[in-house]
Amino acid sequence: MQLNRTSGDLQENTGTFESVGGLEIFYRNYPAEDERARLVIVHGIGEHSGRYGNVFRKLVPRNISVWAMDLRGHGKSGGRRGHILAFDDYINDVSSMMDVARQGMQDQGKSFLLGHSMGGLIALAFALRYPARIDGVIVSSPSLGIAVKVPFLKKAVGKIMSYAVPGLTLSNGIDITMLSHDKEVVRAYADDPLVHDRVSARWFTEIVKTMEKLSNSASELKTPILMQLAGDDQLTDVNASKEFFGAITVDDKAMYVYERLYHEIYNESEERRAGPLQDLEEWVEAHL
């Protein structure tokens, strides 16, 4: 494990582990003094673990250690950019990351999983499959639906290509100006060499299939959940998230909708992101 420093004088440890298929997965760890809990972050499509500095700086001083991984095909991890053969590839990566994050942890220690956008979809799928492995799940702008409806013909062609040429990649079509009101965030995203815009035909069909599966599984969720939604999200379907939340039967659930925020609620301009970050901190505090 390599040791260095980050902005805000947080200690950053970096490392790798081998996931299913022998792929090397990169992660960052920000250990907290007098640790009270551990939290794992799962990022969205095309980005990477290094883009969650505002979350690190919010939670680590509150004695919550944070781990953030680069999913396969992203950032510094192995794998073809934006490509998976099955959605379970992502679930397996997160499962291995959770094992790493819990090493040396006392039995009574709390652990949480936070997923943003596609990472939110992954985090919910993980929580549904492994409810006993986490003490709470947090999702920000989860990809439970696509903001722009995909035409039937395009879906049909996508399914054909998924089996005929599963590794064929195209641009994800994300309008990066809709990520944040902070122009510096948008510029940094555009200039980031670890960011990519590729998605494969198989990735598309696996994501759509998982969205459809989860839309009918909300009542099966047994884990405390915090859902944070961008009210002006142009990239994911906010109504799909609201419908999912409404179908959750577990009593310990909370949802916040930030009406004027874009998709990346933790990377919005300073005055806009303050609310989501504070709500995140308070929810985790309440569950320690």
For 91, the token pair is 């679930």
Among 117, 141, 143, 241, the active-site one is 117
Surface-to-core class of residue 106, CB atoms within 10 Å of its CB (0-12 exposed, 13-18 middle, 19+ buried): exposed
Helix, strand, coil percentages (3-state) for the chain, rounded to 5, are: 40, 20, 35
Q: How far apart are CA 60 and CA 263, in angstroms?
A: 24
Q: How far apart are CA 69 and CA 94, in angstroms?
A: 8
Residue with tokens 């001083």: 61
Catalytic site includes residue 263: yes
Catalytic site includes residue 135: no
For 58, the token pair is 């919010």
Q: How far apart are CA 132 and CA 53, in angstroms?
A: 28
Q: 180 phi and psi, to 5 degrees?
A: -160, 150
Among 48, 116, 181, 263, the active-site one is 263
Residues with Cβ within 8 Å of 164's Cβ and at least 6 positions away in sequence, in order, are: none
Residues forming the active site = 117, 233, 263
